Amino acid sequence: MKTMKLGSSDLNVPVIAVGCMRMSALKPAQAEKFIQTALDIQLNFFDHADIYGGGSCEEIFADAIHMNDDVREKILLQSKCGIRKGMFDFSKEHILKSVEGSLKRLKTDYLDVLLLHRPDALVEPEEVAEAFDILESTGKVRNFGVSNQKPMQIELLKKYVRQPLVANQLQLSITNANMIGNGMNVNMENSSAVDRDGSILDYCRLNDITIQPWSPFQYGFFEGVYLDNDKFPELNTKINEIAEKYNVTNTTIVIAWLLRHPAQMQPISGTMKPSRLKEICSAVDIKLTRSEWYEIYRAAGNILP
C-alpha cells in the first residue's frame, strides 16, 4: 500500500483511510472479517467519530480488532468530536469529555489524530487551544485537525492553537466537486464560479493540510450513490469505459479520480464490504491520464469555462 505524510505531521499514513461510520450495522464476525481484510491489504488508518452509531462504532471496532498494546502499535486511529444533538460544541469541556469517551470505547490511551467535526458558530478558539494543549501534554492526542472548515475558520483557530492542523475532512466526489470547479471558473458568471468554500482546496495545499474526501461515492448530501444510478447515465458510461480499459471496477476508478489530483488527498472509504474495500485499494496502482480525468469530470455535468 502506498503511503503519504499526513499534512505537516510525522505520520506516514496509507493513501486510503478506512471509514468506520457504518460499522454499527455489522455483526461481530462481520466486523472482525472487515477489519482483518483492511489490515491484510495494509490499510491501517481508521477514521471514527464520537457520534458514529452513538459511540457504538468505536466499541465494535475495538472488540473486532481485539485491541491490546501490540495491536495498537500497528494501527493509526483518528476520531472526531463537536457534533451534539441539535448543536455543535467546540467548548473545552466538551472536547475533553468527547476524547475521554472515544479513548474508553476504543480501548486505547491515545488518538493519533483528533478532528473538530463541524464548525461551531459559538466557537471560542481560546478554549479550543486550551483543550488541545491539555490533550497533547497528557499524551491523549498526538495530532490535530478539522473537518468541513473554510480557510478563515481555520485561520481563526490558528491564531490561538499552537499545534499544526494537519487534516481537513471535506465532502468531495465527482458529483460534488465545487471546490475543484470554482478554481477553474474564475471571472465567470455561471454557478460554478460561486465560491462556497473560500478556495479551501488551494488553501489546504498552501498550508500543508491534507484533504480527506468523505462520501466519495455519494451525490448531494447523502442522497445516494451515483455509480450504477440511472440519474447519471453519461457519468456511468464514461467511468465504465475507463474501468474496462484498466481492467478494474467502477469503484476503483472513482477513487483513482480523486488520487489523480495533485493535492495528494487521502480519501475516506465508507464501505463495510471486504470485497469493495479491495476494489478501493486497487486505485493506488492506477494513474488516470489528464484526458481521462477531465472526461470523467465533464461527464458528471461539471462545466469548463
Three-state secondary structure call for residue 168: strand
Question: Three cell numbers at 81?
Answer: 468530536
Three-state secondary structure call for residue 146: strand
Q: What are the angstrom distances between the C-alpha of 13 and each of 1, 106, 157? A: 10, 19, 25
Question: Three cell numbers at 65?
Answer: 480488532
How many helices (H) and strands (E) would you count in the chain?
Answer: 12, 14
Helix axes 56-64, 28-40, angle to 10 degrees: 70
The single residue of 52, 219, 226, 297 carrying the catalytic annotation is 52
Please compute Rg for the chain using Cα positions: 19
Active site annotation includes 160:
no
Q: What are the angstrom distances between the C-alpha of 35 and each of 12, 18, 30, 196? A: 20, 9, 9, 36
Task: Give the whole-angstrom CA distance, residue 116 versus residue 221.
Answer: 19
Instruction: Check: CB of residue 164 under 8 Å from CB of residue 7.
Output: yes
242 burial via Cβ count (<10 Å: 0-12, 13-18, 19+): buried
Instruction: Check: CB of residue 150 under 8 Å from CB of residue 200.
Output: yes
Q: What are the angstrom distances between the C-alpha of 192 and each of 66, 85, 175, 183, 234? A: 47, 33, 12, 9, 20
Task: Give the whole-angstrom CA distance, residue 64 versus residue 42.
Answer: 17
Three-state secondary structure call for residue 13: strand
Catalytic residue numbers read 52
